[in-house]
Amino acid sequence: MKSYEKVFNKLQNSFVKMKIYSYICNPNFSFRIYKLLKINTVDTLSYKTISANKETAQKEWIQVDAAGLSLGRLASGVAKLARGKHKTSFTPHADCGDYVVVLNADKIQLTGKKWDEKLYIRHTGHPGGQRSLTAQQLFDKDPIRLIEKAVKGMLPKNKLGSQILSNVYVYSGDEHPHQGQKPKSIDIKAYL
């Protein structure tokens, strides 16, 4: 047994860990003993970051009423719930969010002149094939698409974003086919 190991054993038996640090600060204290003490104290602690994945994610069903809400504020709250950012186990690279059911999409609001001036532009892929719709025209065609497009724009632009968007269900009226999952009704304003 080497001399610094004997000193280390004496220190460990006779002093509490807080006193050990005062010995470390002493310039005559051997670096080898410092290494042994450091290894000993670090081993007693355990720091583990819990990272959720698809299997360990605890998903819930949440129901949101969109009646009278602004489109962008609703979409940001729905995207946060669908992504899982409100959970302590949020993991950026995994789908750990909740299933979100949005009701009353036909009662959404836009402020200012956005009904007439906000454009949704797409392209057919052929020369001169740019097509555009105003928010009012898209709303008249299908109010569900208005909310889906807003939520999609607030999610990651990759495969994960597509997977998260498939967890969002939007319906025009009060009825939806997910009664069997017993969704919990929440106020979206708390998540804005």
Would you call 158 exposed, middle or buried from its count of C-beta atoms within 10 A (0-12, 13-18, 19+)? exposed
Compute how many other C-beta atoms are within 10 angstroms of the C-beta atom of residue 143.
Answer: 19
DSSP-derived letter for residue 71 is H
pLDDT band of 17, cuts 50, 70, 90: very low
pLDDT band of 18, cuts 50, 70, 90: very low
Is pLDDT above 60 for 63? yes
- Count how many domains the chain has: 2
- Residues 28, 103, single domain; the answer is no
- Residues 122, 92, single domain; the answer is yes
Is pLDDT above 60 for 178? yes
Side-chain-side CA neighbours of 44 within 13 Å: the count stands at 5
Compute how many other C-beta atoms are within 10 angstroms of the C-beta atom of residue 67.
Answer: 12
Listed residue (74, 76, 68, 8) closest to 37, CA to CA: 8
- Residues 35, 114, single domain; the answer is no
Range of the domain at 174: 61-191
Domain CATH for 121: 3.90.1180.10
CA distance 65 to 79: 14
Does 83 map to a domain? Answer: yes
Is pLDDT above 80 for 21? no
Is the alpha carbon torsion for 32, 34, 40, 46 positive or negative?
negative
pLDDT band of 2, cuts 50, 70, 90: low
If you average pLDDT over residues 131-140, what whole number do you get? 97
If you average pLDDT over residues 57-82, what whole number do you get? 96
